[in-house]
Amino acid sequence: MSTNKDYKWVGTSPIRPDGADKVTGKAAFGADKNLPGMLHGKILRSPYGHAKIKSIDTSAAESAPGVLAVMTSKDLPDLASEMGEAGESAVDFRDLSQNILAAGKVLYHGHAVAAVAATSPKLAKQALKLIKVEYEELPVVLEIEDAMADDAPILHENQFTPGGSQDKPSNIAGKMKLPRGDIEKGFAEADVIVEREFTTPTVHQGYIEPHAVTASMSASGHADVWCCTQGAFVVRAMTAKVLNMDVGKVKVTPSEIGGGFGAKTTVYLEPIAVKLSEMSGRPVKMVMDREEVLRATGPTSASVIKIKLGATNDGKLVAAEGTLKYGAGAYKGSPMGPGCMCVFASYEIPNFVVRGFDVVLNKPKVAAYRAPGAPMAAFAMESVMNEMAGKLDLDPIDFRLENAVKEGSVAAYGPKFPAIGFVETLKAAKEHPHYSAPLGKNQGRGVGTGFWFNIGMQSSATLNVNESGSVTLITGSADIGGSRASMALFAAEELGIDYDLITPLVSNTEEAGYCDVTGGSRTTFATGMAVVKASKNLVANMKKRAAKTWGVEVDEVLWQDGQAVPPFSSGKNPMSMAEIAASAAKTGGPLTASASLTAQGAGAGFGVHICDVEVDPETGKTDVIRYTAIQDAGKAIHPAYVEGQYQGGAAQGIGWALNEEYVYNDKGVLQNFGFLDYRMPVANDLPMIDTVIVEVPNPAHPYGVRGVGETPIVPPLAAVAEAVNNAAGVRITDLPISPPRLLAEIDAK
């Protein structure tokens, strides 16, 4: 469905500019940075799920061989509670600091307590053993409902439920309510009501590259930081805040990044590495191991979500009620907000109420994970939609088409939708041969849909024209899945020159203009907009140069196919970009252009997934045997990487549905802290994942782009669960649909 009538470069899938380095091992990722004289930093972590720190004695570690610095939270400034931007979501800087190094209390098993820098990783590890910490163990609370109970162990004595008692501290850190219409009246009009409760476990983003940083503090008080991050400018802001430095004194250079999915939009190691470097006077490198990544970074929220839905016999939704409880981990800030805003966003429902709860638990503080909060909400809502379609004897896609939001619908979270592609995406799914393909024994099919807002935020781009007419394109947006290629395609299209003549770079915080995180599916949309704008500025400048050369008015000059075209009357020949660049010294100096903006109008993304599974009734094992992801991209700039986003999101969602979960013991100790038993999908767990790119242009973007990165993880949970239901005749409402759980349900049938 991807069409390319109007463009030469946009909508093609050339090889990415950074590709050769990535297939030959030359590309430098987070852990690949070394500096002369570098020390190695290691972290001592809490052996308890919840405990008071009574004392820490670091003296033996300080005098251990090879040790040059030891630090605890005492070495970080005491920050007041203050909310700030953290990529897509807000963060309380005091919580951020205390998550980096525990102050007074440890709140989860693996919580960082102290750090050491030594001349080798081995000596640093040995020194950790010499740090004496006296703890007073406290009861842990791991489940959302338990943490909300009146007699629950309290994580934060100074945290009170907003609008609740201000005398008695609570683990409910936040609440929200979104109402519309009159739900009592709405449910009274309903012919059929379905009400169910769903749970999803804590799962990890699962990037293959562990967090890594190398930092060097100069005697002049300037910190140089190299790390793998989705947003160098966010690392800069957070590191400066936690260390009470001016942002101008912190330079962050992003390495290549080995996956993030949202979780590399915060900091864990960076302020520690900078501080250890300051204390020791040497550069410090810190690299997490997999166990640390699983125990103390990410994950995303567990959830308990209840949906009640009412519809009339002719398939019209009339009322809905949702109660969404998200676990935040040790500090407030689960994706309750986006979860509540998107749970009913795909449908026109005249009467609804959504209630949200943000609940702290003795687990790591959650980090963003691809469409934060939405997959859990959609698991619940889409499962109920599927069940309702069954009760009404309607085709599940027809039922959704009957109620789907479209241009002009007022979204459940407030604004009126501009042009959106949900209806088109549903129709494309219905027409896809997969939807009507025959199924065999023990096989079943399910559909699920997904919505995500996508975001705009701030971006900058600079173009420097080389004297040969080739172009260096600089942004500060981390390239996590091929965005350099998209940036170069925009510039090639606008300038009318070959893609190969453009070298797109991801630069550091001192050389690139400000860019917010690569997150919220914003880079191709927003940084792309900045590239388009900078390119237009450059073209305007080059037309001026040509006009000057020819002695004509600038508005008589056209820009076509990478050259300035003079008015016919001038009798001159067109000037190529190379010629304009070569003569730049005489026409006003070097050719550069830049643009910065706060992108408005990120277009909402809608996806529909079709999943076929085969269930082994003897073992309860579910195999995904066919899968199709259909999604509106607005306009696919590099279609192969758009498909890759659809496929990767689907695979993560399938893992979430079938395998992945954090398993804790009753002391709050994570039992599956490696890839062997935190089991993510491997190649032989999955079939080919078919994709359809629907293109309903986003009116707010010059090329019609919508973000595509996050929506694909939203539909799979319900699609897989429904396929299992249709294959095995049991409706699973608690993820994951692991073989023992499914087998127990089948046997109980």
Partner 1 sequence: MSKAHVTTTINGDVVEYLCEPDQSMLEVLRDNLELTGTKEGCATGDCGACSVSLDGRLVCSCLVLGVEAEGKQIETIEGIADGSELHPIQQKFLENAALQCGICTPGFIVATKALLAKNPDPTEEEARYFLAGNLCRCTGYDKIIRAVLDAAAEMRGAAS
> Is residue 19 near ligand FES by the rule CB under 6 A?
no
Q: Dihedral angle at the C-alpha atoms of 542, 545, 551, 556, nearest 10 degrees?
A: 20
- Interface pick for partner 1 out of 67, 114, 172, 480 (rule CB under 8 A): 480
Nearer to ligand FES, 14 or 259 (CB): 259
Residue 297 binds: one of partner 1, ligand FES, none (C-beta under 5 to 8 A by kind): none
The CB-nearest residue to ligand FES is: 208
> Is residue 682 near ligand FES by the rule CB under 6 A?
no
Q: Cβ of residue 28: shortest distance to partner 1, in angstroms?
A: 7
Q: Is the peptide bond before 736 cis (omega within 30 degrees of 0)?
A: yes
Task: Please report, as residue ranges, which positions from 666 to 685 form the binding site for partner 1 (by CB under 8 A).
Answer: 674-676, 680-684
Alpha-carbon distance 555 to 465, whole Å? 22
Alpha-carbon distance 111 to 4, whole Å? 51
Q: Cβ of residue 328: shortest distance to partner 1, in angstroms?
A: 23
- Interface pick for partner 1 out of 9, 11, 12, 16 (rule CB under 8 A): 16
Q: Cβ of residue 480: shortest distance to partner 1, in angstroms?
A: 6
- Interface pick for partner 1 out of 322, 335, 446, 482 (rule CB under 8 A): 482
Residue 16 binds: one of partner 1, ligand FES, none (C-beta under 5 to 8 A by kind): partner 1
Instruction: Give the SS3 label for residue 35.
Output: coil
Nearer to partner 1, 19 or 739 (CB): 19
Task: Please report, as residue ranges, which positions from 194 to 233 form the binding site for ligand FES (by CB under 6 A).
Answer: 208
Q: What are phi and psi of 340, to 5 degrees?
A: -65, -35
Nearer to ligand FES, 647 or 725 (CB): 647
Q: What are phi and psi of 436, to 5 degrees?
A: -115, 10
For residue 378, the tally of other CB atoms under 10 A from its CB is 33
Beta bridge partners of 105: 52
Helix or strand (DSSP H, E) at 185: helix 183-189
Longest dimension (CA), the chain: 89
Number of residues that bind partner 1 (CB under 8 A): 58
- Interface pick for partner 1 out of 5, 24, 80, 246 (rule CB under 8 A): 24
Helix then strand then coil, % of the chain, to nearest 5: 30, 25, 40
Q: Find the length of the chain.
A: 749
Q: Cα 608 from chain centroid?
A: 19
- Interface pick for partner 1 out of 259, 350, 574, 601 (rule CB under 8 A): 259
The label of the residue with tokens 């970074």 reads: 297
Q: Cβ of residue 491: shortest distance to partner 1, in angstroms?
A: 20
> Is residue 41 near partner 1 by the rule CB under 8 A?
no
Task: Classify residue 462 by burial, with Cβ atoms within 10 Å: 0-12, 13-18, 19+.
Answer: buried
> Is residue 481 near partner 1 by the rule CB under 8 A?
yes
Residue 74 binds: one of partner 1, ligand FES, none (C-beta under 5 to 8 A by kind): none
Nearer to ligand FES, 22 or 185 (CB): 22
Residue 80 binds: one of ligand FES, partner 1, none (C-beta under 5 to 8 A by kind): none
Antiparallel, parallel or unpaired: β 132-137 and 575-576 = unpaired
Instruction: Give the SS3 label for residue 671.
Output: coil
81 near 31, Cβ under 8 Å? no
Q: Cβ of residue 290: shortest distance to partner 1, in angstroms?
A: 4
> Is residue 23 near partner 1 by the rule CB under 8 A?
yes
Residue 24 binds: one of partner 1, ligand FES, none (C-beta under 5 to 8 A by kind): partner 1
Nearer to ligand FES, 83 or 208 (CB): 208
Nearer to ligand FES, 149 or 208 (CB): 208
Q: Cβ of residue 529: shortest distance to partner 1, in angstroms?
A: 22
> Is residue 261 near partner 1 by the rule CB under 8 A?
yes
Nearer to partner 1, 285 or 363 (CB): 285
Task: Please report, as residue ranges, which positions from 96 to 125 form the binding site for partner 1 (by CB under 8 A).
Answer: 122
Q: Which stretch binds partner 1 (CB under 8 A): 26-34, 82-90, 387-395, 696-704?
A: 26-34
Q: Cβ of residue 652: shortest distance to partner 1, in angstroms?
A: 7
73: Cβ contacts below 8 Å, ≥ 6 apart: 97, 98, 101, 102, 103
Q: Which stretch binds partner 1 (CB under 8 A): 13-21, 96-104, 181-189, 311-319?
A: 13-21
Nearer to ligand FES, 258 or 476 (CB): 258
630: Cβ contacts below 8 Å, ≥ 6 apart: 425, 428, 429, 432, 607, 608, 609, 610, 691, 692, 694
Q: Cβ of residue 493: shortest distance to ligand FES, in angstroms?
A: 26
Binding characters for partner 1, 400-439, by CB under 8 A (x = yes): ----------------------------------------
Q: Cα 663 from chain centroid?
A: 23
Task: Please report, as residue ranges, which positions from 629 to 658 form the binding site for partner 1 (by CB under 8 A).
Answer: 640-641, 643-645, 647-652
Alpha-carbon distance 334 to 344, whole Å? 19
Alpha-carbon distance 668 to 670, whole Å? 6
Report the chain's terminal Cα–Cα distance, integer Å.
43
- One DSSP character per residue, 190-229 reads -SEEEEEEEEE--B----SSPPEEEEEE-TTS-EEEEE--
> Is residue 13 near partner 1 by the rule CB under 8 A?
yes
Task: Classify residue 401 by burial, with Cβ atoms within 10 Å: 0-12, 13-18, 19+.
Answer: middle
| Both structure tokens of 87 | 């990529």
Residue 683 binds: one of partner 1, ligand FES, none (C-beta under 5 to 8 A by kind): partner 1
> Is residue 206 near partner 1 by the rule CB under 8 A?
yes
Q: Cβ of residue 266: shortest distance to partner 1, in angstroms?
A: 18
> Is residue 27 near partner 1 by the rule CB under 8 A?
yes
Alpha-carbon distance 381 to 535, whole Å? 43
> Is residue 259 near ligand FES by the rule CB under 6 A?
yes
Nearer to partner 1, 27 or 193 (CB): 27
> Is residue 34 near partner 1 by the rule CB under 8 A?
yes
490 near 4, Cβ under 8 Å? no
Q: Cβ of residue 291: shortest distance to ligand FES, in angstroms?
A: 12
Nearer to partner 1, 170 or 443 (CB): 443
Nearer to partner 1, 29 or 413 (CB): 29
Q: Cβ of residue 441: shortest distance to partner 1, in angstroms?
A: 20
Residue 559 binds: one of ligand FES, partner 1, none (C-beta under 5 to 8 A by kind): none
327 near 334, Cβ under 8 Å? yes
- Interface pick for partner 1 out of 7, 8, 32, 592 (rule CB under 8 A): 32
707 near 452, Cβ under 8 Å? yes
Q: Measure Cα distances from 213 to 30, 224, 254, 287 in Å.
A: 6, 10, 10, 6
Q: Cβ of residue 15: shortest distance to partner 1, in angstroms?
A: 5
Q: Dihedral angle at the C-alpha atoms of 278, 279, 282, 284, nearest 10 degrees?
A: -80
Across 406-543, the runs of DSSP E, i.e. the strands, are 443-452, 457-465, 471-475, 502-506
Residue 26 binds: one of ligand FES, partner 1, none (C-beta under 5 to 8 A by kind): partner 1
DSSP state of 614: E
Question: Which parts of this chain interact with ligand FES (CB under 6 A)?
Answer: 208, 259
Write out the residues near partner 1 by the rule CB under 8 A: 13, 15-16, 18-20, 22-29, 31-32, 34, 122, 205-210, 256-261, 287, 289-290, 480-482, 640-641, 643-645, 647-652, 674-676, 680-684, 686, 688-689
